């Protein structure tokens, strides 16, 4: 029995000690003396959220299939344990070995959300690894970053030794092989990082330099050496049927945010919503064969004992073999008394028929994401949904027995007018009216409830809206107020509810999403002044960030309140995601012309993703 890193006394003091003891079902423990390379894969958030992340499960499985490598997991300690670890000088540890992360070869951090940046510093600090990459020595692990936020790694570039740009299945073996060989030959940390920079898709920030123009925008971004690439090419696993996927995912001890088997059915999306970063950075759309998925479903359900299986995809309805897969799952899950969760479905007759089969007799709410209330605005964002689609889907749902509908919208989209804002509750009112028209009084199970939720739009790198400007928190709240007041004036207002997102978090997210290397000083300032778990409203303090920007002489308006000029060099322009900047600019102009671009199956728009040689680009 391994000795736990935390004493019984500490475990008794903290909330949910099961977060820190490891030894879960399907976790992998190896003999540390029998392996050459040790890796800690970290999700910089609390255990329950990190354990729900599919990417870490895939990498954990992939690394541990190598006999020469042992990969462990690590998550952000909750603030109660953070305090104790700092006071008692306890180094952050891997769950599997319970040994300090600082003694391993690599610390990999997956970065999903900008508001987790302070938690990255928390992890490094508790691991007793210098926060700045330039301060690390031969004794420290190599700190690598991956995930969607690395598509603009510049605000956190100072904290990482290298970033892996793209999908992890393609190059990690090459990195481990290189590291093993160079380490055996006595190579220095600097030499190893220089060699890693030559592997396609790897970005070592210390080996590149940025120069700025007088207006604060980037003038040039160049490698310091001739033997490393000027452009970093995104890595793509073209054939998903051949990709590694965990057959025995780790089962958490305590209830995770997503406590279920996750079946990834495809990557990418054919839709091309102009606000959606995932829809651009995961192009082209690639599907897994239904027979491969059936086999994984069988194995994963058997290996975990989970009571639910969920399909993972940006748009499940677009998976071509969905009907066959669902028929199989319905049969398989009925035998094993397992529920099926179907996120990302379009609301049409087929989807509702399926949902009525998989949901319990008591129907929960059904969710639409129109994203905008008016047709004009939906055309601007390329949503490809008409009011007829929305009302038709709602009517089908009401006839199918649902009486609760959740609607997701965005406020603050480019070109938004007050008319577009008011269209949000007006659409919700139309849906409520439709319920009372469609379902006779004697057949109703109570009044219907239409819940509108609005988040505020954040322009992200590698989207057609990366040129757009943002507003102040006060302006966002003014827009939410217009929606709220318009809702109260609707005929069916008693059937309507409205929730909105925090405006100050939105503004910060925008700065961190499109920022440059100058921001790292502010992130460091926030962490040193107590900022962790900024993604959690109970710990977030906007003033702490305002103080940091002031102390570091950073102009928030420069990052958020100006529309970028067409030829501006963006901090992320050195990354080649396959989708061209010319395509993005064309789509930005098409958006301003309120015109819809057909999806990838209707017509190829020449985005550039065909260069990867697979997926939807080659279907016909």
pLDDT digits (tens, 9 = 90+) for 220-259: 999 999 999 999 999 999 999 999 999 999 999 888 877 8
Distance CA 80, CA 374 (A): 46
In this prediction, residues 154-174 reach a mean pLDDT of 97
Task: Give residues with Cβ within 8 angstroms of 58, minimum separation 6.
Answer: 168, 169, 244, 245, 246
Domain 238-345+575-620 matches domain 361-514 at the CATH topology level: yes
Query: Residue 545 pLDDT more than 70?
Result: yes
Provide the CATH topology of domain 238-345+575-620: Transcription Regulator spoIIAA (3.30.750)
pLDDT at 450: 97
Average pLDDT for 201-228: 97
State pLDDT tens for residues 96-154.
Answer: 999 999 999 999 999 999 999 999 999 999 999 999 999 999 999 999 999 999 999 99
**Confidence at 364, pLDDT banded by 50, 70, 90:** low
Q: Give the whole-angstrom CA distance, residue 460 versus residue 477.
A: 21
- CA gyration radius, the chain: 25
The DSSP 8-state label assigned to residue 395 in this structure reads H
Per-residue pLDDT at 505: 96
Residues 370 and 383: beta-carbon distance below 8 Å: yes
Instruction: Please provide the DSSP assignment of 45-74 as one string.
Output: S-HHHHTT-HHHHHHHHHHHTSTTEEEEEE
* Chain CA centroid to CA 334, Å: 32
Which pLDDT value is given to residue 339?
Answer: 85
Is the pLDDT assigned to residue 367 strictly greater than 90? no
| pLDDT tops 60 at residue 362 | no
The predicted model gives 41-57 an average pLDDT of: 95
What pLDDT, on the 0 to 100 scale, is given for residue 332? 87
* Total-model pTM: 0.96
Residue 375: is its pLDDT beyond 70?
yes
Q: Are 356 and 401 in contact (CB under 8 A)?
A: yes
Alpha carbons 142 and 151: distance in angstroms, whole number: 20
Q: Rounded distance, CA 584 to CA 274, Å?
A: 9
Output the CA–CA distances (angstroms, integers) from residue 461 to 275, 516, 555, 587, in the order listed: 10, 12, 19, 14
220 HSE (CA, 13 A, CB side): 6
CA distance 243 to 311: 17
Residue 363 binned pLDDT confidence (cut-offs 50, 70, 90) = low
Indicate if the pLDDT at residue 361 is higher than 50.
no
The answer to whether residues 465 and 588 touch, using CB atoms and an 8 Å cutoff, is: yes
Which structure tokens are listed for 548?
Answer: 């940091």
Contact 504, 435 (CB under 8 A): no
Per-position b or e across 90-109, b if 16+ CB within 10 A of its CB: bebbbbbbbbbbbbbbbbbb
Whether 536 has a pLDDT exceeding 60, the answer reads yes
User: Which position has the higher pLDDT, 358 or 544?
Assistant: 544
Q: Which one has a higher pLDDT value, 96 or 385?
A: 96
Q: Take residue 570 and report the two structure tokens written for it.
A: 């963006």
**CATH topology for the 361-514 domain:** Transcription Regulator spoIIAA (3.30.750)
Task: Yes or no: say if 292 and 263 are a contact pair by the CB < 8 Å rule.
Answer: no
Secondary structure (3-state) at 598: coil
* Phi/psi at 210 (5° precision): -115, 135
Q: What is the pLDDT of residues 466-490, one digit of tens each?
A: 999 999 999 999 999 999 999 999 9
pLDDT higher than 80, residue 357:
no
**Residue 349: per-residue pLDDT:** 66
Question: In this model, does residue 61 exceed pLDDT 60?
Answer: yes
How far apart, in Å, are the Cα atoms of 447 and each of 130, 216, 401, 441? 58, 56, 12, 10
- Give per-residue burial for 382-409: e unless 16+ CB within 10 Å, then b: bbbbeeebbeebbbbbbeeebbbbbbeb
Domain ranges of the chain: 8-233, 238-345+575-620, 361-514
Average pLDDT in the chain: 95
Output the DSSP codes for 211-260: EE-TTSSEEEEEESSTTS-SSEEPB----GGGS---SSPPBPSS--TT-S
Q: Which of 153-167, 193-207, 347-361, 543-557 has the lowest mean pLDDT?
A: 347-361
User: Pairing relation of β-strands 218-223 and 208-212?
Assistant: antiparallel
Question: For residue 448, how far is the Cα from the chain centroid?
Answer: 32
Provide the percentage of residues in the chain whose pLDDT is more than 70.
98
Query: Could you report how far apart the first and last alpha carbons of the chain are, in Å?
Result: 57
């Amino acid at each position: 029995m391994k000795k736990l890193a935390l004493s019984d006394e500490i475990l008794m003091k903290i909330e949910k000690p099961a977060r820190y003891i490891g030894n879960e079902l399907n976790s992998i423990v190896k003999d540390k003396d029998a392996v050459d390379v040790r890796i800690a894969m970290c999700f910089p958030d609390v255990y329950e959220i990190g354990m729900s992340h599919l990417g870490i499960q895939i990498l954990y499985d992939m690394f541990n299939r190598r006999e020469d490598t042992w990969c462990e997991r690590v998550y952000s300690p909750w603030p109660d344990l953070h305090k104790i670890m700092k006071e008692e000088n306890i180094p952050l540890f891997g769950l599997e070995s319970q040994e300090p992360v600082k003694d391993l070869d690599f610390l990999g951090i997956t970065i999903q959300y900008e508001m987790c940046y302070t938690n990255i510093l928390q992890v490094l600090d508790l691991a007793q690894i210098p926060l700045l990459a330039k301060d690390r020595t031969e004794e420290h692990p190599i700190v690598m970053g991956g995930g969607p936020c690395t598509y603009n790694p510049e605000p956190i570039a100072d904290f990482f030794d290298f970033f892996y740009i793209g999908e992890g299945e393609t190059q990690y073996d090459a990195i481990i092989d290189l590291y093993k060989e160079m380490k055996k030959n006595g190579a220095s940390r600097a030499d190893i990082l220089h060699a890693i920079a030559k592997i396609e898709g790897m970005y070592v920030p210390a080996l590149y330099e940025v120069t700025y123009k007088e207006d604060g925008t980037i003038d040039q971004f160049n490698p310091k050496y001739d033997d490393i690439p000027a452009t970093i090419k995104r890595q793509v696993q073209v054939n998903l049927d051949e990709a590694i996927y965990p057959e025995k995912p780790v089962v958490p001890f305590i209830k995770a945010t997503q406590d279920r088997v996750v079946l990834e059915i495809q990557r990418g999306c054919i839709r091309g919503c102009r606000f959606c970063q995932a829809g651009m950075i995961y192009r082209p759309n690639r599907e897994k064969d239904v027979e491969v998925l059936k086999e994984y479903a069988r194995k994963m359900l058997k290996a975990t004992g989970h009571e639910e299986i969920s399909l993972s995809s940006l748009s499940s309805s677009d998976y071509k073999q969905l009907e066959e897969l669902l028929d199989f799952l319905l049969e398989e899950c009925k035998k094993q008394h397992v529920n099926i969760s179907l996120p990302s479905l379009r609301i049409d007759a087929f989807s509702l028929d399926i949902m009525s089969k998989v949901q319990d007799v008591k129907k929960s709410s059904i969710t639409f994401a129109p994203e905008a209330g008016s047709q004009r605005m939906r055309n601007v964002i390329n949503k490809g949904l008409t009011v007829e689609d929305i009302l038709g889907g709602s009517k089908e749902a009401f006839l199918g027995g649902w009486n609760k509908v959740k609607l997701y919208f965005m406020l603050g989209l480019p070109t938004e007018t007050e008319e577009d804002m008011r269209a949000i509750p007006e659409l919700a009112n139309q849906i409520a009216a439709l319920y009372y028209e469609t379902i006779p009084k004697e057949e109703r199970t109570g009044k219907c409830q239409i819940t509108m939720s609005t988040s505020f739009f954040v322009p992200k790198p590698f989207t057609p809206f990366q040129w757009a400007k943002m507003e102040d928190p006060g302006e966002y709240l003014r827009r939410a107020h217009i929606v709220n007041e318009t809702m109260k004036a609707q005929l069916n207002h008693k059937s309507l509810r409205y929730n909105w997102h925090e405006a100050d978090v939105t503004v910060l997210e925008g700065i961190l999403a499109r920022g440059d290397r100058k921001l790292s000083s502010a992130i460091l300032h926030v962490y040193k002044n107590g900022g962790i778990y900024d993604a959690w409203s109970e710990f977030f303090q906007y003033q702490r960030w305002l103080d940091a920007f002031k102390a570091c002489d950073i102009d928030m308006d420069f990052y958020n309140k100006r529309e970028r000029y067409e030829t501006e060099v963006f901090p992320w322009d050195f990354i080649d995601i396959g989708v061209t900047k010319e395509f993005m600019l064309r789509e930005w102009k098409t958006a301003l012309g309120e015109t819809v671009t057909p999806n990838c199956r209707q017509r190829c728009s020449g985005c550039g993703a065909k260069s990867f040689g697979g997926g939807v680009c080659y279907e016909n």
